[in-house]
Structure 1
Amino acid sequence: MTSRLICLLGPTAVGKTEIAIRLAQRLNAEIISVDSRQIYRQMDIGTAKPTPEEQQAARHHLIDCVDISESFSVADYQSLADTAIADIQNRGKRVLLVGGAGLYFRAIVDGLFEGPGADPALRKRLEGEVAQFGVDALHDRLRVCDPESADRIHPNNIVRVIRALEVYELTGTPMSELQQQWHPEKQRYPFIAFGLTMPRALLYRRIEQRVDVMLANELIAEVESLLAAGYGRDTIALRSFGYKELIAYLDGDCTYLEAISQLRQNTRRFAKRQLTWFRKDTRIEWLDRESTPDIIENILGKIGDI
């Protein structure tokens, strides 16, 4: 069976999982998670991973696939997603992409950013600078010209640090900015996409409520168990919001209240970045959860017989 992918996108805490499960049940669909952190097995509470009950209500894919100590790239995600899409469609079911990772969504529907070809002379010079000054010095330089890529690339990942600097020096544009440019006419799959939104004040209240629920569900214990298992504080996954703030608290770098305040703020900022990313994609039809009557029926009506 070949049909358009159905995509449900939007910021964290907007309520995508609830809507997605109801849609999957109505459409005979299976859900592919479009989330850069739920892919990890050990990160459950801090990533707001669908509960076992929710995963039983509708089959989910690309959750709990890798260990947080493993290297995992967007290309790896794309490969897993392609396999899952083929499997679901071959079994006669529809595919429902659900999540808030804009780069992962784009990797599925549009493909990966390739960027300019390698420049051997430039790459040799950058490798020489690594040998002379260390990768941290180059990572610091990357943070100046492309802070978003610096946040995403670990200093020890020399190949990716060099590539990001190479792209910037060759184009004069941060790689993170180039990665937000895509060409709809080259899309890899036919799809129909809906974005869920709500008034910003309400979304922020929901974010604060989610943080409270995470803490009540022993988020601190989850972070402690990961550290006790030997995962380093510089592990890329643990440097994400929900974990880095509580690690700072456990290390005595801030008080508990300061950590929670920072967690709420970082989550709000993350939601804002998600909305900024998705708003640039004119192929997404936005639905306000507060003002759209019967949102499930609304989406079903727009999907039609696909």
Structure 2
Amino acid sequence: MSDEQPHLPPLIAVVGPTAVGKTATAIALAQAFDGEIVSADSRQLYIGMDIGTAKPTPEEQAAARHHLIDILTPDQQMTLADFQDRAYAAIADITARGKLPLLVGGTGLYVRAVLEGYRIPRVPPNPEFRRAMEALAAREGAQALYTRLQALDPEAAANIDPRNVRRVIRALEVIEATGEPFSAQQGREPPPYDILRIGLTMPRDALYARADARIRAMWEAGWVDEVRRLVAAGYTPETSDAMKSLGYPEVVAYVRGEITDENEVLRLIGRSTRRFIRQQYGWFRLDDPRIHWFDVQQQPREAITAFVAQWLARRSPPSPPPRQ
């Protein structure tokens, strides 16, 4: 079901795992319904990180206007609160111009922050604190950070994966800055939109094969040269959180000569990608009743377009009776 508030302006979300075809589907919907796309991909924010993030090509961006792509350099950071603010501003702008906003991406936390209206503590990043916590995790393991969070804020800890070091550090950072539990500063206030969630999926083995093929295609399209340019500009996994994005550390290792076998790099990236896909299915659950799932192998894109058309038509107010 959608959020079923037809008196509110529409917002369509297209979600699902990496490599399933969200970009092509979103562009088709944008073209069919005079829409614009708001990217909810935490990696496509960064200038110069094009191939390895499967960023929409210039041709794709010309086919449908995209927002929140290429807005940061790799040494900059985007907090969840910053992203939410920018996404809401873009959606409001699209709506005000009479067009249909489409929130599209596989970064689950970004999508849910927008659609569910997370109330997020406005605490700026503290690089020194983060470095200290990262050093602690490197020295004593991620569990040491998680144990600290459990002691300070057990409610927050219960809702964070212990393996997600960045989220654990962020919770500790907020507690350090405010002196209050992270959980006490959170809540939800859904945005003023009638929301339709479209999920794209396919059988897991087929999706893994598709992801492997895309990794190979990105490699052949010049991913190594892209990473060489980024490293030459001073962006590395040690200096930039953006360069810790999926696949980039492995390509950096290849550029540095730490891995010399191309097939080994691709195997490692494929392994990381499959792990990431499993995480995405944790964010976007197939049993979530709010998401209308489409198996893209079984259901053509036209079926999704027809479904959206029906949903939009149901939202339309009835025509006034003819004058007597």
Instruction: Tell me the TM-score normalised to structure 1 length.
Output: 0.81
Task: Note if 1:207 corresponds to 2:226.
Answer: no
Task: Note if 1:188 corresponds to 2:188.
Answer: no
3-state SS, counterpart of residue 17 of structure 1: helix
Tell me how far apart the structure 1 counterparts of residues 208 and 166 of structure 2 sit (CA, whole Å).
23
Q: Quick one: which of 133, 139, 143 aligns to 2:137?
A: 139
Tell me how far apart the structure 2 counterparts of residues 113 and 236 of structure 1 sit (CA, whole Å).
24
2:45, 2:68 within 8 Å by CA — same for their partners in 1? yes
2:216, 2:266 within 8 Å by CA — same for their partners in 1? no
Which residue identity does 1:138 align to in structure 2? L
Tell me how far apart the structure 2 counterparts of residues 305 and 194 of structure 1 sit (CA, whole Å).
16
Identity, % of aligned positions: 43
Write the deviation string for residues 9-28 of structure 1: whole angstroms up to 9, x where unpaired.
11111011111111111111
Gaps of 5+ in 2: 1-6, 147-160, 316-324
Gaps of 5+ in 1: 119-126
Which residue identity does 2:209 align to in structure 1? R
**Across the two proteins, how many residue pairs are aligned to each other?**
278
Q: Quick one: which of 144, 149, 153 aligns to 2:164?
A: 149
CA RMSD of aligned residues (A): 3.1
Q: Quick one: which of 40, 48, 61 aligns to 2:54?
A: 48
Quickly say closer, same or farther: Cα 1:299–1:89, change in 2 above 3 A.
closer
3-state SS, counterpart of residue 304 of structure 1: helix
Aligned to 2:243: 238
Counterparts of 1:222-233 in structure 2, within 5 Å, are: 222-233=226-237
1:142, 1:150 within 8 Å by CA — same for their partners in 2? no
1:109, 1:189 within 8 Å by CA — same for their partners in 2? no
Q: Quick one: which of 288, 299, 303 aligns to 2:308?
A: 299
Write the deviation string for residues 204-257 of structure 1: whole angstroms up to 9, x where unpaired.
111011111101110000000000111133211111212111111222322322
2:77, 2:241 within 8 Å by CA — same for their partners in 1? no
Aligned to 1:110: 116
- What's the CA shift for 1:71? 2.2
3-state SS, counterpart of residue 265 of structure 2: helix
Aligned to 1:98: 104
2:37, 2:103 within 8 Å by CA — same for their partners in 1? yes
- What's the CA shift for 1:267? 1.0
3-state SS, counterpart of residue 257 of structure 2: coil
Quickly say closer, same or farther: Cα 1:95–1:238, change in 2 above 3 A.
same
Counterparts of 1:21-40 in structure 2, within 5 Å, are: 21-40=27-46
Write the deviation string for residues 265-293 of structure 1: whole angstroms up to 9, x where unpaired.
11111111111211074311111112225
